[in-house]
Amino acid sequence: MYWERDKECMSREDLEQLQLERLQATCNRVAVNVPFYRKKFAELRFDPERLQSLDDLRALPFTTKQDLRDHYPYGLFAVPLREIVRLHASSGTTGQATVEGYTRNDIKTWSNLVARILTAAGVRADDVIQIAFGYGLFTGGFGLHYGAERLGASVIPISSGNTKRQIQIMQDFRTTALVCTPSYALYLADSMAEMGVNPNALSLRVGLFGGEPWSEAMRQELERKLPIKATDNYGLSEIMGPGVAGECTFCSGLHVNEDHFLVEIIDPETLEPVPDGEIGELVVTTLTKEGFPVLRYRTRDLTRIIPEPCPCGRTLRRISRITGRTDDMLIIKGVNVYPSQIEAVLFDIEGTEPHYQIIVEREGRLDKATILVEVVDAIFFDSMKKQRQMVEHIKARLASELGIGVDVKLVEGKTLARSEGKAQRIIDRRNL
Amino acid sequence: MLKVRNIEAGYGKLRVLRRVSLHVAEGEIVTLIGANGAGKTTLLNTIAGLLPPRGGEIRLNGADITTATPQKIVRAGCSLVPEGRQVFAPLSVEENLILGAHVRRQQEGKRALTEIEHVYDLFPVLRERRTQLAGTLSGGEQQMLAIGRALMARPRLIMLDEPSTGLAPLVVKTIFGIISRLRDEGNTVLLVEQNARAALHIADRGYVIETGRIILQGPAEDLLANRDVQRAYLGHGPANE
């Protein structure tokens, strides 16, 4: 089943013509409407008129997360704000956040592309789809919601949390499709066991999981514990949110919606493209976005192109499931967390370079993050009460900055391991 | 059907088209909209072989027609209905139509003229006026004659340059109805128009050209919903929103 057969099964030659036309139009527009790109083009002496083939993409500048932050909130939009009908933001409450704007057409395109991903994963118009992603600034909830409505499925916008209620509604509403993070799906399965709910008595048959990397072992576990086919999909808010790529029912790589996104895989060190099939950093260029077009966005996600054709008949090329990151970003409870955010909060409180360590574990099914902070005078008090207050204060500040709750523990000075004078910041004990 | 890549064209020192790429798939109506002087007519003339491009590539059904002569391009299945109709005023309606079959007559002889009945079916008013001099027709009838003349070559791709220019609103409606019908009968249409609203309403996809550059492209309904297009070409000023 296809959502848009004429697009998803296009000949590569026709697709490349379309991609070139769209890339050229996008470059013509950003060169006029986005001062950041105009400046970058000038610095690189890149004349958008010289862009004559898809290979010329390499002459274009990269865009990084830092570029997005530097132009917080609206600096990279290609249209005036009055044409933006929706704003989303990725994690971080201050200057660390990045903001994405959508025009009416962008929302339409987004809905349509998510409908494609849902269809590829096996969701149909007569499915009842429970969306247990958070609704809010995070793109996951709304993205899947709009796509599912576009498809014509019956949407339950339950949002995240309140596990008992999720299970109750899943039973009562006869949910057939589940959308959430894979770890939450496992948590749901375990909670069902505790509650004495038989998963096989549910109407569930398909799950779309995303928002964090997960393994084949986890897929098997999910499919064993829940009566579902578990599929992976990929997106990132800086590009659009969900809808960038998704698995078909063959579950052997994620088809990229290449008529809307140009993907490259580069060596993160040399920034040169790697041959098809080799692992590297995924770089994405938007081809149809009006509000917030992005050229060569460095996702920091590691994957590879799967050049072989897929038995499903789609000609859209696949990327492998994300295998890791090129930077120190952590995904905790589905939220992107950078150590630098934690560092900034601690620095602000302590007034000096903090020594800290982030320990991420999986307690049962859920992520748990603990920040170990070496005591310094600024946060040390003789009175237990005051000391506790300080820890609570740090916790509250971190929760507000990161958007997720973390535990904070104080440790004695100079006890955290340092290698070559540099602290080992992250200990990730989750087995993904 | 038609694939245009990186076309550059101009007159003397004037660069009009700057790296223009577009395509038209079989059975589509594709419209190119833009202001006066943006390069719309230049693009059609370049595709039709009337103006040699300075760079780029034009393919029609896979065949390279970048430097082909106008006759060859007509024979390859691409006919242009020029701006301002340009019917032969001192000739009769039927003589105009026969001239349209000129290229085919060289190969097919008299058989090429059987198409004339089809054109008369499409435009009954032309049958009524078959012996009348083309110069005495109304603007709308002349436009029908110009389209009919192009159809005599039995094109697979019809390019129309500003078919609504100088016509009364009701006649414009008729002409656009005819263009839709051409598509319904299996023709492929590339339509250049200043009347962006009417063009986008019958088109499947569209391209927006500004100072020789394509700045937007996409499904016609998306272009109708695009605020830049609305402001610049559909007359939705902030005042009348």
Whether A52 sits inside 8 A of B6 (CB atoms) is yes
Interface test with B, best of A30, A47, A105, A110 (most B CBs within 10 A): A105
The shortest CB-CB distance from A24 to any of B21, B218, B227 is to: B21
* pTM metric for this prediction: 0.87
- B57-62 LR contacts (CB < 8 Å, sep 24+): B57/B3, B57/B4, B57/B5, B57/B6, B57/B7, B58/B2, B58/B3, B58/B4, B58/B5, B58/B7, B59/B2, B59/B3, B59/B4, B59/B5, B60/B1, B60/B2, B60/B157, B61/B1, B61/B156
pLDDT 10s digit of each residue in chain A, 432 long? Answer: 999 999 999 999 999 999 999 999 999 999 999 999 999 999 999 998 889 999 999 999 999 999 999 999 999 999 999 999 999 998 654 457 899 999 999 999 999 999 999 999 999 999 999 999 989 998 999 999 999 999 999 999 999 889 999 999 999 999 999 999 988 898 899 899 999 999 999 999 999 999 887 888 889 999 999 999 999 999 999 999 999 999 999 999 999 999 999 999 999 999 999 999 999 999 999 999 999 999 999 999 999 999 999 999 999 999 999 888 887 788 888 788 888 788 888 888 887 777 888 999 988 778 889 999 988 888 888 888 888 898 999 999 998 888 888 999 988 877 876 654 445 678 888 865
Residue B238 has pLDDT above 60, yes or no: no
Which residue ranges make up each domain of chain A?
1-326, 330-428
Nearest-by-CA chain A residue for B222: A105
- Find the range with the poorest average confidence among A234-238, A342-346, B140-144, B197-201: A342-346
Residues from B contacting A (CB-CB < 8 Å) are: 3, 5-6, 18-19, 21-23, 25, 213-218, 222, 225-228
The shortest CB-CB distance from B19 to any of A22, A52, A290 is to: A52
Chain A positions touching B21 (Cβ under 8 A) are: 17, 20-21, 24
pLDDT of residue A431: 67
Counted residue by residue, chain B has a size of 241
Chain B positions touching A52 (Cβ under 8 A) are: 5-6, 19
Domain A1-326 is of which CATH architecture? 3-Layer(aba) Sandwich (3.40)
Nearest-by-CA chain A residue for B4: A17
Whether B227 sits inside 8 A of A49 (CB atoms) is no
Nearest-by-CA chain B residue for A30: B215
Topology of the domain comprising A330-428: GMP Synthetase; Chain A, domain 3 (3.30.300)
CA distance A102 to chain B (A): 12
Whether A25 sits inside 8 A of B214 (CB atoms) is yes
pLDDT of residue B96: 95
ipTM of the assembly?
Answer: 0.90
Paired strand residues for A265: A282
Helix (H), strand (E), coil (C) string for chain B? CEEEEEEEEEECCEEEEEEEEEEECCCCEEEEEECCCCCHHHHHHHHCCCCCCCEEEEEECCEECCCCCHHHHHHCCEEEECCCCCCCCCCEHHHHHHHHCHHHHHHHHHHHHHHHHHHHHHCHHHHHCCCCEHHHCCHHHHHHHHHHHHHCCCCCEEEEECCCCCCCHHHHHHHHHHHHHHHHCCCEEEEEECCHHHHHHHCCEEEEEECCEEEEEEEHHHHHHCHHHHHHHCCCCHHHC
Chain A positions touching B3 (Cβ under 8 A) are: 17
- pLDDT tier, B129 (very low <50, low <70, confident <90, very high otherwise): very high
Q: Chains A and B: how many Cβ contacts under 8 Å?
A: 51
Chain A positions touching B214 (Cβ under 8 A) are: 21, 24-25, 28
CA distance B5 to chain A (A): 8
Q: State how far the alpha carbon of B120 is from the alpha carbons of B91, B115, B144, B145, B175, in Å.
A: 17, 9, 10, 10, 15
Identity (one letter) of the amino acid at A191? S
Over range B210-233, report the average pLDDT: 93
Chain A positions touching B226 (Cβ under 8 A) are: 103, 105, 290
Nearest-by-CA chain B residue for A49: B19
